[in-house]
Amino acid sequence: MSIAGQALPDLAQRLKEGAAQAGLDLAPPEQEKLLAFLSLMSKWNAVYNLTAVRDPEQMLAQHLLDSLAIIAPLSRHIDLSGATIADVGSGAGLPGLPLAIVFPTAKVLSIEPVGKKAAFQRQSCAELALTNVEVFAGRAQALTRQVDLVICRAFASMADFVDASAGLIGPSTLLVAMKGQRAGLESECAELPAHCEVEIEALQVPFLAAQRHLVIVRHAGRSAPQQAAARQAEASSPAPSPSPSPTSIQAFSPGLTSAGPAPAAPRRSA
């Protein structure tokens, strides 16, 4: 068995080594599903142009390991195993689907407005039996569902990310942007509302020389333990009333627009 002509054992060993460098001990079923997802990306990419990266080994580093490398740093801020996660502008399902594979008890809402990419994600979820993923074929602005973590990869500016995510944000929601070079990040973050508390953390992706950073945004004045306590309090309290403000980090009422049927198509921190 191979992926686009590359022997699967080679990619499997590369994935195992990269995951170990990222501080992860992946179980065999998780490795198999991640490699199967990589195979589906490679297959669909030939027709649907999901990503500009064509070589499977490069896809492994730039997409899979790039997604997995955020797990150890994020685990210092949030318990991903039981989290509700919204992936905004998820494209081919990155990082949402790899997170769903590694954390099968998490609930992932993958938000992608481009129909062919959303269709790929649905087909991938069906073939990989990812029952903890919901694919929404639309824009994040159309949603009002409070989650624990909102994440984006290669999105627009930080201000646009916060604006687009407004309907997903509650008082204890963590927002995380996966960014490249550090240059310009401070000026982007300076444009955020005053109540946004920002932390920029350097990220090392295995087998990738390019710079990567996480920009972590939380409600000002709340530490990670305080946010965890707030989530427990929210779980035992009635749902808060909706807020009309599109940019404030406040609680929003639940609800989701239907994404419609899927078109036909040709887990563990150290």
In a domain, 255, yes or no: no
In a domain, 245, yes or no: no
Q: Decide if pLDDT at 227 tops 50.
A: no
Residue 232 — pLDDT band, cuts 50, 70, 90?
low
In this prediction, residue 237 carries a pLDDT of 54
In a domain, 250, yes or no: no
In a domain, 184, yes or no: yes
Q: Structural domain tally of the chain? A: 1
In this prediction, residue 173 carries a pLDDT of 96
In a domain, 137, yes or no: yes
In a domain, 259, yes or no: no
In this prediction, residue 7 carries a pLDDT of 59
In a domain, 93, yes or no: yes
pTM of structure = 0.79
Higher pLDDT, 55 or 253: 55
Domain CATH number, residue 85 = 3.40.50.150
Domain extent at residue 149: 2-235
Q: Decide if pLDDT at 14 tops 50.
A: yes
Q: Decide if pLDDT at 105 tops 50.
A: yes
Residue 241 — pLDDT band, cuts 50, 70, 90?
very low
CA 56 to chain CA mean position, Å: 21
Retrieve residue 213's tokens. 């950073």
Tell which residue, 6, 22, 29, 32, has the closest CA to residue 65: 22
